[in-house]
C-alpha cells in the first residue's frame, strides 16, 4: 500500500489506522484554509507560513510499523488543535498564539483589519474542526488501548529554527516535551534522551516546549497512555528559505533520528507490561 493509499480522508481529519501500540498525531500538518476564513485573511496569511511543514512525510515510515497516524486537513490558522477549547494559555506570561490565532509567528496580523474571528466564529470552528480531531484522537486511543496494555501517543511537530516571538537564538534540533515528566513513564522519556545523546543531536527536554494541550490532556501513564511531544527545528530536515519543498535526501538524517526514537519508545512501552 502506498503512503497516499493508507489514508482515509474525512471532511476535516485524515487517518491511517494500524494496530501497533503507537498513535502519531500531527495536528499542525494541515495546509488548507476554508474559503470563507481565507477571505478575511491577509495575502501572507493565506499561505499558512507557520505550518509544520512535511511532518507527515517525515513520519511515513511509521505506517510500516503498524502505527496509526492522524492529521488534519486544515491549517492551524483555522483553529489550533493543540490548544484547549476554552482558549486558556499553555504558557502563562509568555508569548504564544491562541486557539484561533490572530498573529503569525513573525508578529504580522493574520486577518485584515476588523475581520478577526468573533466569539461566535470561534465556537463554530470548535464544533466543525477542533472536536472532530479530538473525537478521532480519543477514539483511536480507546481502540489501541483495547489491544495493548500501554500505548504511545507521539505528537509530531516542527517549527522554524529562529523564532524570536517564542525563544531567543536558535532552537535545538529536537525539543522533547513530556509535561515536565507527567505525560509518560520516565523510562520512555529517558530512552529518547539516550538516543538523542547517542546520535549527537542538539536537544533539550521540557524547555521552551513542554508539550501542548494534546500531550498534557491525553498523556495518562497510570491508564496506559504515554504521551510525548517532539518539536523539531525545521533546519534539521529542510531548507528554511524554501520550506514548501520536501527533499527526501536532505530529510533522510532526520528520518533516521525519528526511527531510532520511535523504536526506543516502543521497546520501553513493551517492558511496562
Q: Kindly report the CATH number assigned to the domain that includes residue 105.
A: 3.40.630.40
Question: Measured between alpha carbons, how far is 79 from 102 in angstroms, rounded to an integer?
Answer: 10
Which range has the worst mean pLDDT, 16-25, 94-103, 244-253?
Answer: 94-103
In a domain, 137, yes or no: yes
Domain assignment of residue 99, yes or no: yes
Round to whole Å and give the CA distance between 201 and 237: 13
Question: Tell me, what's the pLDDT at 90?
Answer: 80
Query: Is residue 3 in some structural domain?
Result: no
Domain that holds residue 223: 8-271
Number of folded domains in the chain? 1
Q: What are phi and psi of 62, to 5 degrees?
A: -65, -20
Tens-digit pLDDT profile for residues 92-141? 767 678 899 999 999 999 999 999 999 999 999 999 999 999 999 999 99
DSSP 67-111: -EEEEESB-TTT--TTS-TT---SSTTS----SS--B-TTS-BSB
Closest residue by Cα to residue 98 from 111, 44, 203: 111
Would 1 be classed as within a structural domain?
Answer: no
Residue 247 is assigned to a structural domain of this protein: yes
Distances (CA, A) of 72 to 22, 80, 101, 131, 241: 18, 10, 16, 11, 25
**Inside any domain, residue 107:** yes
Pick the range with the lowest mean pLDDT from 127-141, 160-174, 227-241: 160-174
Q: Say what the pTM is.
A: 0.95
Chain center to CA of 177:
11
* CB of 72 closer than 8 Å to CB of 129: yes
Amino acid at each position: 500500500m502506498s503512503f497516499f493509499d493508507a489514508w482515509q480522508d474525512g471532511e476535516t481529519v485524515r487517518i491511517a489506522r494500524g494496530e501497533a501500540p503507537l498513535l502519531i498525531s500531527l495536528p499542525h500538518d494541515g495546509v488548507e484554509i476554508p474559503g470563507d476564513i481565507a477571505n478575511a485573511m491577509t495575502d501572507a496569511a493565506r499561505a499558512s507560513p507557520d505550518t509544520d511543514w512535511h511532518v507527515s512525510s517525515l513520519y511515513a515510515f511509521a505506517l510500516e510499523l503498524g502505527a496509526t497516524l492522524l492529521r488534519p486537513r486544515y491549517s492551524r490558522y483555522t483553529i489550533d488543535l493543540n490548544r484547549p477549547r476554552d482558549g486558556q494559555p499553555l504558557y502563562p506570561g509568555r508569548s504564544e498564539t491562541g486557539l484561533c490565532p490572530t498573529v503569525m509567528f513573525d508578529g504580522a496580523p493574520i486577518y485584515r483589519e476588523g475581520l478577526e474571528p468573533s466569539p461566535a466564529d470561534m465556537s463554530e470552528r470548535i464544533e466543525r474542526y477542533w472536536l472532530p480531531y479530538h473525537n478521532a484522537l480519543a477514539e483511536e486511543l480507546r481502540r489501541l488501548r483495547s489491544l495493548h496494555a500501554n500505548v504511545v501517543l507521539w505528537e509530531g511537530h516542527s517549527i522554524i529554527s529562529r523564532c524570536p516571538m517564542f525563544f531567543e537564538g536558535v532552537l535545538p534540533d529536537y525539543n522533547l516535551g513530556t509535561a515536565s515528566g507527567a505525560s509518560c513513564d520516565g523510562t520512555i522519556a529517558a530512552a529518547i534522551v539516550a538516543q538523542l545523546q547517542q546520535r549527537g543531536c542538539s536537544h533539550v527536554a521540557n524547555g521552551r516546549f513542554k508539550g501542548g494541550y494534546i500531550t498534557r490532556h491525553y498523556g495518562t501513564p497510570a491508564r496506559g497512555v504515554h504521551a510525548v511531544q517532539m518539536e523539531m527545528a525545521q533546519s534539521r530536515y529542510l531548507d528554511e528559505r524554501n520550506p514548501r519543498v520536501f527533499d527526501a535526501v536532505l530529510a533522510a538524517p532526520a528520518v533516521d533520528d525519528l526511527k531510532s526514537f520511535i523504536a526506543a519508545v516502543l521497546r520501553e512501552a513493551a517492558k511496562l507490561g
